[in-house]
């Protein structure tokens, strides 16, 4: 076994990825499968069916028998408890949770805020995207004395600076980064690590229309162009850019003393001042 395999090989590691049929979570799943992990994708029955994502990953990784799917709405605690039982029965006990559920639904001036949509975005990113799965998994690990478990949350550029017009999303993603720190500190006594990844701008299902005006020509919206102009690398992220950091944070051997950090993967977006 090479030194790299010793450090980053994930044989015997069982991972749950919520929102697993999404663009970013799906790429993370691919990387973890390529390193030998077993992965269970959790997703809703609507929009992007989780079984389609499982089938696609079997094709791209050849990981037949190591990738599973569970249909669950992570915004409901009882459903998450049930999904964890189902996952343990099919894949075995997970020791890694990637909180991939999230997204935005609203954009506009603050005085025009649609209160219901604001609440929905908070629920999507904070409750379904972190609080409920983290509560259920941490309780399971602590009660069963499972140590060396790990959680990865998905933050955003909006966790650091409120991007214009998306105050609900920005507030929710700031909460994600704050809870990453709080959970890391609290769970360390149980051997559980909690870290985050803050992607820059990647074209996903939820933000495509906001960034790209014409898919055939690649013409960008004004907002899409402004983002590129503000990104020193001058491009959107490619989901492959997220894979190395995902593997690093999941691997206990590579990052076993790392907790409470959120790593930006943003082509330098956060460094841009003028
Ligand atoms: N795309 C980007 O540029 C970008 C940038 C920064 C952060 N993020 C974050 O990364 C994460 C993934 O984003 P993406 O672009 O891949 O999004 P996506 O829309 O492609 O994937 C999200 C998935 O979560 C699922 N989902 C939503 N609510 C759910 C629920 N309650 N229960 C179960 N599944 C649910 C959706 O059906 C979808 O399949 C999100 O947290 C997003 O906020 C994305």
State the Cα–Cα distance between residues 10 and 7, nearest whole angstrom: 9
Q: Which of 176, 198, 206 maximizes ligand 1 atoms within 8 Å of its Cβ, making it the mutation to test the pocket?
A: 206
CA 145 to centroid of ligand 1, rounded, Å: 31
* pLDDT of 259: 98
User: What fold, for 3-200+241-263?
Assistant: Rossmann fold (3.40.50)
Distance CA 58, CA 172 (A): 33
Count Cβ atoms below 10 Å from residue 52 Cβ, excluding itself: 12
pLDDT above 80: residue 132: yes
Query: How far is 70 from 47, CA to CA, in rounded Å?
Result: 14
34 pLDDT band, cuts 50/70/90, is: very high
C-alpha to C-alpha distance for 236 and 146, rounded to whole angstroms: 39
Residue 210 pLDDT exceeds 90: no
Instruction: For residue 266, give both structure tokens.
Output: 């943003």
- Residue 256 backbone dihedrals phi, psi, to 5 degrees: -65, -15
Residue 202 DSSP label: B
pLDDT score at 219: 94
Torsion of CA 86, 89, 30, 156, to 10 degrees: 40
Q: The tokens of 60 are what?
A: 């791209």
For residues 204-221, give the mean pLDDT.
Answer: 87
pLDDT reported for residue 203:
87
List pLDDT tens digits, range 167-208. 999 999 999 999 999 999 999 999 999 999 999 999 877 788
Whether this model's pTM surpasses 0.85: yes
Q: Ligand 1 pocket, 204 CB below 6 A?
A: yes
Give 87-122 pLDDT, tens digit per residue: 999 999 999 999 999 999 989 999 999 999 999 999
Q: In degrees, to the nearest 5, what angle opens at C-alpha 53 toward C-alphas 51 and 57?
A: 115
Percent above pLDDT 90 for the chain: 91
Residue with CA closest to ligand 1 atom 22: 22
d(CA 150, CA 191): 8
Domain ranges, ordered by start, for the chain = 3-200+241-263, 205-236
Q: Is the distance from the beta carbon of residue 154 to the nearest atom of ligand 1 less than 6 Å?
A: yes
The share of the chain scoring above pLDDT 70, in percent, equals 100
| The residue to which tokens 């402004």 are assigned | 226
Cβ of 129 closer than 6 Å to ligand 1, yes or no, is yes
C-alpha to C-alpha distance for 29 and 122, rounded to whole angstroms: 25
Which band of pLDDT confidence, cut at 50, 70 and 90, is reported for residue 47? confident
């Amino acid at each position: 076994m090479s030194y790299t395999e010793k450090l980053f090989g994930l044989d015997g590691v069982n991972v749950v990825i919520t929102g697993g049929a999404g663009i970013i979570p799906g790429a993370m799943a691919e990387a973890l499968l390529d390193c030998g992990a077993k992965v269970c994708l959790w997703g809703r029955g609507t929009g992007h069916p989780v079984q389609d994502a499982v089938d696609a990953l079997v094709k791209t990784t050849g990981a037949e028998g190591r990738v599973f799917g569970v249909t669950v709405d992570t915004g409901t605690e009882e459903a998450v408890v049930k999904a964890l039982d189902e996952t343990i029965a099919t894949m075995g006990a997970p020791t890694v949770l990637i909180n991939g559920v999230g997204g935005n639904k609203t954009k506009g001036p603050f005085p025009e805020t649609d209160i219901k949509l604001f609440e929905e975005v908070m629920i999507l990113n904070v409750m379904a995207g972190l609080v409920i799965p983290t509560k259920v998994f941490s309780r399971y690990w602590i009660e069963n004395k499972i140590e060396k478990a790990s959680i990865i949350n998905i933050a955003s550029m909006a966790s650091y600076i409120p991007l214009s017009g998306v105050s609900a999303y920005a507030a929710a993603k700031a909460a994600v980064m704050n809870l990453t720190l709080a959970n890391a500190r609290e769970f360390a006594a149980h051997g559980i690590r909690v870290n985050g990844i803050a992607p820059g701008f990647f074209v996903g299902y939820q933000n495509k229309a906001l960034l790209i005006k014409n898919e055939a020509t690649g013409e960008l919206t004004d907002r899409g162009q402004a983002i590129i102009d503000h990104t020193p690398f001058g491009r959107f992220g490619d989901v492959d850019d997220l894979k190395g950091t995902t593997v690093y944070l999941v691997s206990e051997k590579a990052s076993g003393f790392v907790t409470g950090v959120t790593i930006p993967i943003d082509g330098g977006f956060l460094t841009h001042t003028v």
